[in-house]
A and B are shown apart, each in its own frame.
Chain A
């Protein structure tokens, strides 16, 4: 049933993409990008899930398992959890870059409307 999670992540990504494509307010475009980013976190964490698994923590595992048997046994994927961890921190910094660009554009052109930023048009 984890397929539902995958599809939810895909839907969330597309909502972000739709916002990015159709909004003209640049703050909302950044929100669309953040939504796409959050969809990727959901996707990675869903990929890490294993049926009836335990957390990858080698500290007094429950159910009579030893650390060794847990390491060979059924656990959630720690690599994808790691991807997610670092991606969140990088995502905050990248969103700050986008927002500072938006503030500078707004200061320069006195508008948040991407269409009215005429000088950027091809």
Chain B
């Protein structure tokens, strides 16, 4: 049966092609190879490890201690010499955060990142009466509610209020809203250490960047809590109304701190705070205040983007081919194509 085997193989090939869709490999290879050749020629001619430091780098090294009382020149560059650039980058970050908020925004305003789609079910049904749940969606939603303990797990039983209330040694499978007691205990120990370390690298300006890595550490703290204890345990803190206000407060603080330099000292971002001795909390003057505001801005900004993407509502349960829905879909497709054609004309 040569025909059948050929058909079988071509079917499998097609399946493999769908599994790993790619197109124009040759063109891609040619362009990427050309780019590599161009870059190789370019990097062969640029300064290497024996080149002298750039003027601005040397300048920053020389003024970090005398003018800012900072022992960390990278910090001096981020918040002093290149402070204006950092200011602009902060608003680039803010623009990205706003883009994510706009893109992930559901139809109704919401109070939390998770679970609001269930709260708004009545309004959504009113806005979109044609949308109806199929069997698969009902099953998935029921399983999700069960995982969250909002619904009895079985006849006569009820999930404990928090995963910590689960008696040890219970043979039941782990619920998805929290990890095992081993992970939870490890997180309980690691979390305060991580939070203190994150604040420490901001408070003492000995670490490069201070507010930027500190903000990333704050995101790590929140994500660990989320992964270990589930979304209900952080929902009081991680909610848009609170985090977005803190984020914008950080942005306002940065603007005010830098503008006061213009008002009091005559140049944007100039130091107007008294400098304490090096290696103390207040040693950098304005640089430290800028760095602390940056911690707020970066920490909350990253929390917003991560949780906005994680909590994007599930309004894409696949429209499984229901026999009567096919006709409507085809009709809608045709209507859309007709619309496109008329637009083209």
The interface of chain A, by Cβ under 8 A from chain B, is: 1-3, 6-7, 9-11, 13-15, 17-18, 21-25, 47, 49-51, 56-59, 67, 70-72, 75, 77-79, 81-82, 85-86, 88-90, 92-94, 96-97, 99-101, 103-104, 106-107, 110, 113, 115, 119
Count residues on chain B whose CB falls below 8 Å from chain A CBs: 75
B46 contacts A59, CB within 8 Å?
A: no
Report B145 CB to chain A, min CB distance, Å.
Answer: 22
User: A97 touches which one: B57, B65, B100, B302 (CB < 8 A)?
Assistant: B100
- Given known A-B contacts A24-B22, A96-B100, A49 and B35 have beta carbons under 8 A apart: no
B29 interface residue per 8 A CB criterion: yes
Report B40 CB to chain A, min CB distance, Å.
Answer: 6
B39 interface residue per 8 A CB criterion: yes
B264 interface residue per 8 A CB criterion: no
Which of B124-132, B175-183, B190-198, B204-212 lies at the interface with chain A? B204-212
B279 contacts A14, CB within 8 Å?
A: no
User: A100 touches which one: B21, B85, B309, B340 (CB < 8 A)?
Assistant: B309
User: B208 touches which one: A23, A71, A81, A101 (CB < 8 A)?
Assistant: A81
User: Which residue from chain B places its CB closest to the CB of A43 in the assembled complex?
Assistant: B43
Q: Contacts of B213 on A, CB cut-off 8 Å?
A: 85
A97 to B71, CA, bound (A): 36
A81 to B64, CA, bound (A): 15
Report B204 CB to chain A, min CB distance, Å.
Answer: 11
B35 contacts A13, CB within 8 Å?
A: yes
Chain B positions 55 through 74: 1 when the CB is less than 8 Å from some CB of chain A, otherwise 0: 01110111011000011111
Chain B positions 64 through 100: 1 when the CB is less than 8 Å from some CB of chain A, otherwise 0: 1100001111101110001001100100110011011
Chain B positions 28 through 46: 1 when the CB is less than 8 Å from some CB of chain A, otherwise 0: 1101110110011001101
- Given known A-B contacts A13-B39, A92-B302, A107 and B23 have beta carbons under 8 A apart: no
Report A6 CB to chain B, min CB distance, Å.
Answer: 4
B340 contacts A119, CB within 8 Å?
A: yes
User: Which residue from chain A places its CB closest to the CB of B219 in the assembled complex?
Assistant: A92
Q: Contacts of B39 on A, CB cut-off 8 Å?
A: 10, 13-14
A1 to B56, CA, bound (A): 25
Q: Contacts of B25 on A, CB cut-off 8 Å?
A: 22
User: A59 touches which one: B44, B206, B301 (CB < 8 A)?
Assistant: B206
Q: Contacts of A106 on B, CB cut-off 8 Å?
A: 316
Q: Contacts of A94 on B, CB cut-off 8 Å?
A: 96
Chain B positions 304 through 344: 1 when the CB is less than 8 Å from some CB of chain A, otherwise 0: 01101100100110110000000000000000100010000
Chain B at the A interface: SS class: helix
User: Which residue from chain B places its CB closest to the CB of A24 in the assembled complex?
Assistant: B21
B28 contacts A85, CB within 8 Å?
A: no
User: Which residue from chain A places its CB closest to the CB of B82 in the assembled complex?
Assistant: A82
Report A61 CB to chain B, min CB distance, Å.
Answer: 10
A72 to B53, CA, bound (A): 10
The residues in B between 279 and 295 inclusive whose CB is less than 8 angstroms from any CB of A are 279
Q: Contacts of B76 on A, CB cut-off 8 Å?
A: 78
B312 contacts A89, CB within 8 Å?
A: no
- Interface hub of A9, A67, A100 (most chain B Cβ within 10 A): A100
B253 interface residue per 8 A CB criterion: no
A9 to B76, CA, bound (A): 27
Instruction: List 30 A-B residue pairs with CB atoms under 8 Å apart, sorted by A's residue number.
Output: A13-B39, A14-B36, A17-B31, A22-B23, A22-B28, A24-B23, A49-B49, A57-B206, A58-B70, A70-B61, A71-B73, A72-B61, A77-B54, A78-B76, A85-B74, A85-B212, A90-B92, A93-B97, A93-B302, A97-B100, A97-B305, A99-B309, A100-B99, A100-B103, A100-B308, A103-B104, A104-B312, A107-B315, A110-B319, A115-B21
B35 contacts A17, CB within 8 Å?
A: yes
B71 contacts A57, CB within 8 Å?
A: yes
A82 to B244, CA, bound (A): 27
B49 contacts A50, CB within 8 Å?
A: yes
A26 to B218, CA, bound (A): 29
Report A76 CB to chain B, min CB distance, Å.
Answer: 9
A85 contacts B92, CB within 8 Å?
A: no
A115 contacts B36, CB within 8 Å?
A: no
A72 to B64, CA, bound (A): 12
B62 contacts A71, CB within 8 Å?
A: yes
User: Which residue from chain B places its CB closest to the CB of A1 in the assembled complex?
Assistant: B49
User: Which residue from chain A places its CB closest to the CB of B79 in the assembled complex?
Assistant: A82
